[in-house]
Structure 1
Amino acid sequence: MRFTLRQLQVFVAVAQHESVSRAAQSLALSQSATSTSLTELERQSDCQLFDRAGKRLALNALGRQLLPEAVALIDQAREIERLLGGKSGYGSLHVGATLTVGNYLATLLIGSFMQHHPECRVKLQVHNTAHVVQQVAHYELDLGLIEGDCQHPDIEVQPWVEDELVVFCAPQHPLAQRGSASLEELTHEAWILREQGSGTRLTFDQAMRHHPRNLNIRLELEHTEAIKRAVESGLGIGCISRLALRDAFRRGSLMPVETPELDLRRQFYFIWHKQKYQTAAMREFLEQCRALTTGVSRSDQIVLPPIV
């Protein structure tokens, strides 16, 4: 073979960062060593893998074709290296999750996974759906757990478990006594909502799309906990996942407001790159996630594993 695994590793890093200097930092190599490795790979193969525009390097057609093969080969090489080193466990797992999934499910799932596989190096990144999809598409994440829509042509999308948003208010709010509200009544309330572009806000806006009147949106916040605190303070009513509210509902610090005229159901999904090599850690983690939701019809019914 005219190439080395190190050269392929450098190629993948440059493809992901679109910069030799940033790739060098991620690999803990000097910039000159990184540049030399990439140059040698192209010279030995008599081909060009990037279009160069100043300091930015963008994959050309051949580079885009090579990237998934190189990522898969490196992943398999790491597993072989562990086996040759006498390590039968899992190497690493890099998961991305959207905010609701990440804050209320993924952290405990990963904690349980690490209890069973303490040798595995696990990373969790929590971002909005668009960011997680982008990272999966660029092979920066092994897999994603998302609550929004994904139409990326290179990404495999599999349904996981159904979720449902719910309108809620403070215990002292007039709607708390009634426990339900019509669309007409909701238009007279002040709202505390997630920001535009979030999966939660998209589901809410789709549910309200046939209602012609504008809502009084007092605040738009990026975090569900901030929305819960604002609603508890009496600033307005909100609408987020039942999963994020179930402890508050049990305590009575917040109250659900049922809205029969609104369809606030949505789906949680698994996503990964279609050409991504599925490591043993990926397969085990996906199996654990599916096992957790066996027989469960909605996310707030999940019995979460205890972390000790």
Structure 2
Amino acid sequence: MTRFEDEIGGLALELAWSLWSELGVNGVARRHDWQAIDLEPLLLYTAWIGPEDKRLQARSIEWSIANFRIASAIRMRNLARQASRSTRGSFGRYAATVKEHANAPWPASGNPLARVRSGAEPAPDLRRPSLLQLRLRALVGVSARSEVLRLLLADPERPQSVGQLAESAAYGKGSVAQSLDMLTMAGFVQVHPFGNRLVYRLARPVEVRLALQWLPAAFPDWAPIFRIVESLAGYARRSSSSTAARVARLRTLLTAIDDDVRRLGIAGQVPKAIGSASISEFERWALTYVSDLSGRSRLSPAGPVGENAHVA
């Protein structure tokens, strides 16, 4: 194992542990109390990284068994389609384990993992700012409507289309459109024509924020973030002796993560593969990026999550 691989792997685990600490799983200090958690991408990420830390795997499964009702099986299924083949396989078994012990309607595949009981996990404290998503679900149900509200709260001044909201919500456009219609009827959302489409924004953001209280300072787009971290870890594991092979491998990685870094608005920050010197430059960037994500350095709410992260 190279030092780069060891450091990336350790930081990826620190990120997972800190996010689960926000959900009530004790293990490490809470480092993401000011960032909004997104449960379903975290579940897929944990299924991928869980084999590297059996304690994390066991405790997150126990939490999921106890709290499966506040997770969205629809979002899991939709997000799994965007995941790597290995993550889909790992998540299928992870979900099968929860389904076997909680009769949860999760999209399971493959054989369940062996359950390692670690004691009852505490219920998540929905008053935590980081758990706004779960608080909204407690109020309006585990639905596209709660995800739409979360996304509109993340950036209340920016009008968004059905397509934009559906991509981030990981629900179908039909479900998102129906949710927007209902929220518009209720007076929570305004709709405006913009070119040949309609865009939506909160009608009374101040009142909604006051009613919800305990809001996070930032709303990271966790699904692409986790995919990038997984890709970086995979790159770190595949060592090559020749410089030419390493540059070629870096180019392959950059192509694989291109859509996600663009979605996050950080494409300009990622070093290019233009020669042997770019390898060390890229690896320094990768370590800094994942270190910042892990919360090892307490950053301002602008944080490491990208220019397109929404700061409240």
The question of a shared fold, defined as TM-score above 0.5 by the shorter chain, is answered with: no
Q: TM-score range by the shorter chain?
A: under 0.3
> Larger radius of gyration, structure 1 or 2?
1
